[in-house]
Amino acid sequence: MITIIDYGLGNIQAFVNVYKRLNIPVTIARQPADFEGATRLILPGVGAFDHAMERLDASGMRPTLERLVREQGVPVLGICVGMQILASASDEGLLPGLGWVKGRVKAFADVPELKGIPLPHMGWNDVRPWPDVPLFKGLEEDARFYFLHSFFFDCEGGGGSIASASYGQDFVCAVAEGNVFGVQFHPEKSHHFGAALLKNFAEL
């Protein structure tokens, strides 16, 4: 069962609609009891890093989420800010992240070579996945996804990255560490490319 975590951030219904079109069972979790039967988790997010962490904590679902992901190995897919809070910390805020993928979130505006680049990075962009990544099965060439962000995931030691995109310079746009996955773009807004990725996640 695909379970989408509704902690007040992200267009939850858009994910539900995609999975219903794919005839894949989907449900929404708004409290700990709603995770019963979950075999895949989607952690969406929009807005600021600290606000997302505060909302997740306030939802009361974080302990259940931690147990499922860290102890039981249930696959989770973080999306946009939901990907960023997988990191240990962000230059955008002061709160610690979940720390499930080694790295820190950094600002495009703080990269000297990108001085003056329009922000946020918004719109469609090409995504280049690494070879043989199951999340991007069938999307190895000519895949395009919709982005809306001003911060990017800086993987510790270069590990964890599974795809990149370019905006002024190459940046990591998808990560994976064990059963934890994250994408910076919005698959729910990315037409057939996004539907293919969400289907792949369901079939991991």
* Active-site residue flag, 186: yes
Give me 144's structure tokens: 């395009």
**Catalytic-labelled residue, pool 36, 54, 80, 177:** 80
Give me 202's structure tokens: 């369901």
Task: Tally the C-alpha atoms within 13 A of residue 100's C-alpha that lie toward its C-beta.
Answer: 29
Please enumerate in sequence order all residues whose Cβ is within 8 A of that of 61, keeping only pairs 6 or more positions apart, or say none: 5, 7, 29, 30, 31, 32, 35
126-149 burial code (b ≥16 CB/10 A, e <16): ebebeeebebbeebeeebbbbbeb
Contact 155, 103 (CB under 8 A): yes
**Catalytic-labelled residue, pool 121, 149, 173, 186:** 186
State the DSSP code for 186: B
Give the count of beta carbons closer than 10 Å to the beta carbon of residue 89: 17
Amino acid identity of residue 161, one-letter, is S
Sign of CA dihedral 61, 67, 72, 74: positive
**Catalytic-labelled residue, pool 51, 66, 188, 191:** 188
C-alpha span between 12 and 80 (Å, rounded): 13
**Of all helices (H) and strands (E), which one includes residue 81?**
helix 81-84
* Active-site residue flag, 51: no
- Known catalytic residues are 80, 186, 188
